[in-house]
Amino acid sequence: MAKSKLTVNGTAQEVDCDPATPLLYVLRNTLNLKGAKFGCGLEQCGACAVLIDGEPVLSCVRAVSEFDGQNITTVEGLSENGEPNAVQRAFIAESAAQCGYCTSGLVVATTALLKRNPQPSREDINEALADHLCRCGSHVRVLKAIDRLAAAGGSHDR
Ligand code: FES
Ligand code: FES
């Protein structure tokens, strides 16, 4: 056991666990943040994506010790005063989910994409979401949600 110091959704956390524990397990099981999901456990589906210093990272394999001292944002940390942020609102408006298992990963990845590129091309979007699988086939609606955000031209906060 060892202590890992993380900042999660703006709050400093000190977690006592095996340093090899995957970050996702710490977020879900120790910090009770259930937004990021365990899908494949093999970095192949995107369900576990979180932001590390603003960049999307798959959290199901990499050890918590790798993230010592870093800023982690989960989907829970994207909301603004308890309300959905612009990306979440666009996903809701376009009904861009069915079971919702993939959704937090997609919202996290989309938030990071639009932050660095407010008007992404389809190629940019495909590249940014390449790690994200949706077994329910909501991809078309996800693209519509992102198109809606891109049409707004980054004029709103995310
Ligand atoms: S659970 Fe991490 S990529 Fe699938
Ligand atoms: S909405 Fe069910 S896996 Fe994507």
CATH top class, domain 86-151: mainly alpha
At 72 the pLDDT is: 98
Give dist(CA 108, CA 41) in Å, integer.
Answer: 18
pLDDT in tens, 55-87: 999 999 999 999 999 999 999 999 988 899 999
The band of 154, judged by pLDDT with boundaries at 50, 70 and 90, is low
Distance CA 43, CA 39 (A): 9
Q: Is 46 in the pocket of ligand 1 (CB under 6 A)?
A: yes
CA of 34 to the centre of ligand 2 (A): 16
Domains of the chain by residue range: 2-76, 86-151
48 C-alpha to ligand 1 centroid (Å)? 5
Q: How far is CA 143 from the centre of its chain?
A: 16
What are the tens digits of pLDDT across the range 5-64?
999 999 999 999 999 999 999 999 999 999 999 999 999 999 999 999 999 999 999 999
The CATH number, out of the four listed (3.10.20.30, 3.60.15.30, 3.30.530.20, 3.90.580.10), of the domain defined by the range 2-76: 3.10.20.30
The reported pTM is 0.94
Per-residue pLDDT at 37: 98
The H or E element that residue 136 is part of is none
